[in-house]
Structure 1
Amino acid sequence: MGESKMKKFLSVALILMLAVTMLAGCGSKGDTTTEEKTTEEALSGKIVIAGSTSVQPLSDELAAAFMEKYPKVSIEVQGGGSSVGVKSAADKIADIGASSREVKDSEKKLGLKEYVIAKDGIAVVVNPSNEVEDLTLEQIKKIFTGEITNWKEVGGKDQSITVVSREEGSGTRGAFIEITKVEEKNAEGKKVDKTTVNALVQPSTGAVKQTVANTPNAIGYISMGALDKAVKAVKVEGVEATEATAKAGTYKIARPFLYLTNGEESEVVKAYIEFVLNEGQEIVKEEFISVK
């Protein structure tokens, strides 16, 4: 073979090699995308979540987002209460138990794996003109049950207190009365809401905030995420109502939202919990405090 032909042959061979390399690179990128898509399509199975009715609406939203991402996954969300969530996870009746309280010492022996998926913080708010800066949990309880009716009893002006509360069935109301002990058990052991009958009941966080902002002697409670200068959040037991104090556990009117498993987690359950603790925190932040 002549030198000229040899050069042409080598040039063609080099071009072919470059072309193959480029095609292989394109194919590799395509394979990665296909692999990710295949994973989303391939993940399948059913998850049953049972427990806290406070966590239930959040679980519904998280489950809907997860099922949209993984169409072959089915998630059933049930209520029943936090104690039901603990028992359901322990007895393997549900894949995930949901609780809106800490696991009790008596339940720790069940050996459940705990995941904090969100924090629920509630601020006690007054009109900005109110000189009261700090209240104890006991004072808050007595105000909302109607035992304390004048601001002078807690260091304020000689002025009657207007209590503003959420409607019955509100998740915020449920959490507030539970934590502040406004909800008590009667002789039969049934929980009873002791909120004063004189309270102004409002249907939303916005309505509570507006009422307190427009009423100098009012007091109410709203989710921390709704705080702004229209109202003033009082300290509780000397601690400010902030996302940081709620996360740290120093602010008392806050609670964790937990997912509980018995440790035997299927691939789909692991994937769902991983989603909740990462991507799902964007959903959590809409109404609650993210754990990230």
Structure 2
Amino acid sequence: MLKTVIRLLALGVCISFSVQAKETVTVVGSTSVSHIMDVLADTYSSTHKDTTIEVQGIGSTAGINAVKQGAAEIGMSSRVISSAELDDNYKAITIAHDGIALVVNKANPLTNLTREQLIGIYQGKITNWKSINGKDLDMAVVSRENASGSRFSFEHFMGLTKQVSGFTVSNISPRVLVVSTNGMVKSLVSRNEHAIGYVSLGSVDDSVKALSYDNVLPTAANIESGEYKIARPFLLMFKQKGLANDAQQFIKFVLSNQAQSIIKDKGYVAIDKKA
């Protein structure tokens, strides 16, 4: 083949080779949203062979900033995006609703926590499981990093914030162990009978035990009905204008009946089911 090409070139014959380049859409942000976005990306790419969807879980705030800095086409957020972050140049859409589940080690006998107990645990006022009818074990309390949408939503819902010089800051105990992903929370809790943490409902598996909150189980049905209160939206953020066609088509897919059925099957509340 190579010899033939060389002969043709020597004869002045112009040869062109056409290779179809794959388009890449970068989707970055919330590690909670990335859990389902990975599944949606794989499903989309299986029928759109010319497009690669790259999903990176780096935190909600980092995802928002990546879109604004032009480092990603689509940002994922598991917290409400402020008007200052959004402005007129960007758009945010809801793709699902999720709960934040309280998780403990499977050997922990507790099945429920009240709002008052949970606030006391994260502010360091309750430090031993025995004081809330558990085992005589010191608590190992786990939270997410500051850029996490899960942490933002959890702390704002629980009132675990305070005002300092006009800024809203975290009001949890400095002794709380901070980790960067849902997976790390689950790993710590699954290996430590003392531990408690919180994760996206869709990330809960049999490695940990999810607790009721104020006697309501964290389930998609209870989020949909409004009974389970620790809930938040899953959002995608992108430019209002100039968004590449491949990214537009992927967003259209995420809002489709097919994708919303996948979202529901994975334990989240689909947007067409949320009042």
Q: Does 1:148 align with 2:138?
A: no
TM-fit CA distance, 1:240? 5.5
Q: Distance in 1 between matches of 2:51 and 2:152?
A: 35
SS at match of 2:121: helix
Are 1:280 and 2:253 counterparts? Answer: no
Distance in 2, Cα, partners of 1:111 & 1:248: 34
Which residue of 243, 246, 264 maps to 1:268?
Answer: 246
Distance 1:272 1:120, change over 3 A: same
Q: Matches of 2:244 and 2:68 in 1, distance apart?
A: 15
Identify the residue that residue 92 of structure 2 maps to in structure 1.
114
Cα distance per residue 1:136-195 (max 9 Å; x no partner) = 1x5314324542035686xx54964664667989xxxx666554449989x9x9999956
Q: 1:119 to 1:211 in 2, by over 3 A?
A: farther
Q: Is 2:234 aligned against 1:257?
A: yes
Residues 63 and 151 of structure 1, relative CA distance in 2, 3 Å threshold: closer
- 1:241 pairs, out of 218, 236, 245, with 218
Name the SS of the counterpart of 2:46 in structure 1.
helix
- Distance, in Å, in 1 between the alignment partners of 2:190 and 2:57 is 29
Q: Is the 1:209–1:220 Cα contact (8 Å) retained in structure 2?
A: no
C-alpha RMSD over aligned residues: 4.8
Q: 1:111 to 1:168 in 2, by over 3 A?
A: closer
Larger Rg: 1
With over 3 angstroms needed to count, the CA separation of the structure-2 counterparts of 1:139 and 1:244, relative to structure 1, is same
Aligned partners of 2:59 and 2:149 also within 8 Å: no
Closer, same or farther in 2 for the Cα pair 1:167/1:84, shift >3 Å? closer
| Deviation, structure 1 residue 288 | 4.5
- 2:79 pairs, out of 92, 97, 101, with 101
Which amino acid counterpart does residue 263 of structure 2 have in structure 1? V
Deviations 1:233-282 (A, max 9, x none): 3334x865342453466744333221112223443223211222232335
The 1:220/1:80 distance shift into structure 2, 3 A limit, reads closer
Q: How does 1:49-198 map to 2 (within 5 A)?
A: 49-90=27-68, 92-124=70-102, 135-136=114-115, 139-144=117-122, 146-150=124-128, 156-157=132-133, 160=136, 163=139, 177-181=151-155, 194=174, 196=176
What is the identity percentage for the equivalent residue pairs of Structure 1 and Structure 2?
30
Q: Which runs of 5+ in 1 are unaligned?
A: 1-41
In structure 2, the residue corresponding to 1:149 is in which secondary structure?
coil
Higher relative contact order (CA 8 A, sep 6+): 2
**Count of aligned residue pairs for this structure pair:** 232
Return 5+ residue gaps in structure 2 as ranges. 1-19, 178-182
Q: TM-score, normalised by structure 2?
A: 0.58
